[in-house]
Amino acid sequence: MPHEPALSIADRMRIMRQTRFGAFVPVLLALAAIWGYFGLIAPLFEYWSDPAADSIRFIFLSPRNIYNLFMQSAVIATLAVGITIVLLLGDIDLSAAATAGVCAALLGVLVLAGVPGWLACLMVMVVGTVMGAAQGLLIAYVGIPSFVVTLAGLLGYQGLMQKILPTGNLNVDDPFIRAIARILIPDMLGVVLAIGLVALVAASALRRQSMRRARGLELDSRFAIWGQIGFFAAITFATVLTLNSYRAVPLMIVLLVALTALIGWITTSTPFGRSVFAVGGNAESARRVGMKVNRIRVAAFGIVGLMAAIGGIFGASRFGSVSYTAFAGGSLLLESIGAAVIGGTSLFGGRGSVWNAILGALVIGSLGNGLDLSGASSADKLMFSGAILLLAVAIDAVSRPAGAAGR
Amino acid sequence: MTPPPHLRVSGIHKRFGGLHALRGVDFEVARGEVMALVGDNGAGKSTLMKVLAGAHLADEGSFWLDDQQVQVNGPTDAADLGIQIVYQDLALCENLDVSANLSLGAEPVKAGFGFLPRFLRPIDDLEMEIKAQKAIDRLEVRTLKSVRSLVGGLSGGQRQAIAIARAVGAESSVVMLDEPTAALGVAQTRQVLNVVRRLRDTNHAVVYISHNMRDIFEIADRICVLRHGGNVATWKTSETTPDEIVVAMTRGLDGGQGNAA
């Protein structure tokens, strides 16, 4: 007897998240909810409840605050992009923030010793990669669970950072390093870049569609294609124009987007990226088709190390200093893992995207920023962040494929 | 008369420590035939299959492929000879779509990126979809809507078909199926048996391991019975009955070979 079983909410969510753009929906909703609350509801409420206020003050959604929000979230996002790679494998990296801390401290010491800024940056990127890959070697070849190895890494690297920075603080005023956060892309160039980017995305989507037609493959719906292009264009132009109306697009954001695009391309469109997804989905399957699972693990942890080092450079550049609490000792680690997970990358491996990590970082950044603006205590911030993280993991657990539930 | 064997092994011995799992087993399968391999638990079916696939190395015994003696010293040797195995757990990646699963580990890459190492060249996913569609069409899996659907959303029968398609896609001539219908309902079983028939019709040599007599008598051309790590006998399906096979599996033949337990 044919019958259509009614879809439960969990089923619907699962189906939605399996589509290419559906995975963006939960994190976008979370972002919209947070921005709506801090940007509209909170100021309106304040206006109505306080007779002394003479006008509504939309501080949160002001271009100035959005600019700060992007800069605050950039370091979290850089680490989250790296962490996403190991989450895709079904592993976790607890040492990313400590790695970033060691790299930033090393950077500070190197430039203090007179090493040119660009060379110091390259050196710490190599060091970060080695630090990550070393943990990967232990995980892949010795067979220690990644949780334990990177927990040990977290402790060890925290200690290492304290060794490098006995005072816990160091100013970085190398012009090259400061420039990463200080250089602004001129307004017009920013707009031109945005137009070029949107045109590129649109052209490649349309070219793909025409190639599909030429080869007689099933076609994407017109709605989906133009929806994707429109969505991408809206986000790009909104970002660039908002940032332009305060200052301009900072170089750091451009670098972050470029890096994410590169890593996103590697994960989705190359045999290496495919093998990362395969190992996360079914490591036994990957092994049987001849993939070198161990090497893939080491490479993935190397990439986290590299991204952590870049995060360290970005942080040092933005703060103009390196401090223990800003990296290894602070909340950066949990914020960046939280960003990756809130972005919709599964803790169970095999599902996720680096772009979502950036949106997740914005969610975490917005939450902190909004709570700061409304005068919440750090205790409130921690509890809110915990609740959001829990919600994200719950969505992840509920929307896992049914067949994988018992794995 | 029996067709000439495509793959033939003889005198296979396999010991695991003190356990003598295979005691001089002979086995053969021809192209365009489905050879069922049956036996009670512990009879050595899975061990024999793994030896054929190179997952276990035989302690003694010889392999012939089309009357050429060959060496199988590992899974890649077996794969190079065109011997593919579909394990019971299928080993599909549920988070990837059908076409990605079918090309897993051998993704076609676009031309013109020779300056990059192979694992960083862009995947030609259109080519991958075309290959997948061809493989699916060859096996006539009609229920599959799109090669772009995620394997996690497919039915058990469809997954089995995908796993078989992956084995066949790798230029194989011998396909071994381990209990392919064990976890499936009636309609799904029908679907998988149709795929197995397509394999036979496309001139593959199929080794079919199962406990299900009904499936075996529906699909197999010959039935090879193992007991206690040795051969009992091989029957043509048309010349035997399920009862006879069950008796052979559990008690062996009176005075038959290979049941010196």
For residue A218, the chain B residues in CB contact (below 8 A) are: 146, 148
Start-to-end CA span in chain A (Å):
31
Does any CB of chain A come closer than 8 Å to the CB of residue B74?
Answer: no
pLDDT at A231: 87
Write the DSSP symbol of residue B221: S
Say yes or no for a CB contact (<8 Å) between B107 and A271: yes
| Nearest by CB: A282 against B76, B92, B119 | B92
Phi, psi of A370 (to 5 degrees): -65, -40
Distant-in-sequence, close-in-space partners of B226: CB < 8 Å, separation ≥ 6? B25, B37, B38, B39, B43, B44, B45, B48, B232
| Residue B183 touches chain A, beta carbons under 8 Å | no
Number of Cβ atoms within 10 Å of the Cβ of B241: 12
CA A344, A349, A352, A358 dihedral sign is positive
Distance CA A395, CA B17 (A): 49
| Residue numbers in chain B where pLDDT is lower than 70 | 1-2, 170, 254-261
- Tell me what pLDDT residue A254 has: 93
B32-96+156-251 carries CATH number 3.40.50.300: yes
Q: Are strands B174-178 and B205-209 parallel, antiparallel or unpaired?
A: parallel
Asked if B207 contacts B29 with a C-beta cutoff of 8 angstroms, the reply is: yes
Q: Give the closest residue to A197 by CA, choosing from A270, A259, A257, A273.
A: A257
Contact A270 B119 (CB under 8 A): yes
B71 touches chain A (CB under 8 A): no
Sign of the alpha-carbon dihedral angle for A368, A370, A373, A376: negative
Question: Which tokens in the block code for residue B209?
Answer: 């391991």
Beta-carbon separation of A291 and B105 below 8 A: yes
Buried b (16+ CB within 10 A) or exposed e, A368-385: bbbbeeeeeeeeebeebb
Nearest to A271 among B96, B118, B126 (CB): B118
Chain A residues touching B109 at Cβ < 8 A: 271
Beta bridge pairs of residue B22: B14
Residue B187's pLDDT is 84
Inter-residue contact B120 to B50 (CB < 8 Å): no
Contact B95 A270 (CB under 8 A): no
What pLDDT score does A314 carry?
95
pLDDT tens string, chain A, 407 residues long: the values are 344 445 566 666 666 555 556 677 778 888 888 899 888 888 888 888 877 777 777 888 888 999 999 998 999 999 999 999 999 999 999 999 999 999 999 999 999 999 999 999 999 999 999 999 999 999 999 999 999 999 999 999 999 999 998 888 899 888 999 999 989 999 899 999 999 999 999 999 899 889 888 888 888 788 888 888 898 899 899 999 999 999 889 999 999 999 999 999 999 999 999 999 999 998 888 888 888 899 999 999 999 999 999 999 999 999 998 988 888 777 888 889 989 998 888 888 888 899 999 999 999 899 888 888 888 888 887 788 788 778 878 877 776 654 443 33
State phi, psi for B232 to the nearest 5 degrees. Answer: -95, -60
B contacts of A401 (beta carbons < 8 Å): 94-95, 150, 152-153
Q: Hey, are the CB atoms on A403 and B152 less than 8 Å from each other?
A: yes
CB A79 within 8 A of CB A307: yes
Q: State how far the Cα of A136 lies from the Cα of A142, in Å rounded to an integer.
A: 10
How far B2 CA lies from chain A's nearest CA (Å)?
34
Q: What is the ipTM of this complex?
A: 0.81
Q: Residues in chain A whose beta carbon is closer than 8 A to a beta carbon of chain B? A: 15, 18, 208, 211-212, 215, 217-218, 265-266, 269-272, 274-275, 277-278, 280-282, 284-286, 288-291, 350-351, 401-404
End-to-end CA separation in angstroms for chain B: 32
For residue B126, what are its two tokens? Answer: 């259109």
Q: Would you call B153 and A272 a contact, using CB atoms and an 8 Å cutoff?
A: no
Residue A307: what residue type?
M
**What distance in Å separates residue B233's CA from the closest CA in chain A?**
33
CA dihedral A166, A169, A173, A177 (to 10 degrees): 90
Instruction: Count the residues in chain A.
Output: 407
Q: What is the pLDDT of residue A17?
A: 57
**CB contact (8 A) between residue B105 and residue A404:** no
Q: What per-residue confidence (pLDDT) applies to A19?
A: 59
Using a CB-CB cut-off of 8 Å, the residues of chain A touching B122 are 265, 269-270
Q: Which residues of chain B have a CB within 8 Å of the CB of A269?
A: 122-123, 125
The residue type of B179 is E
B70 φ/ψ angles, rounded to the nearest 5 degrees: -130, 165
Contact A350 B153 (CB under 8 A): no
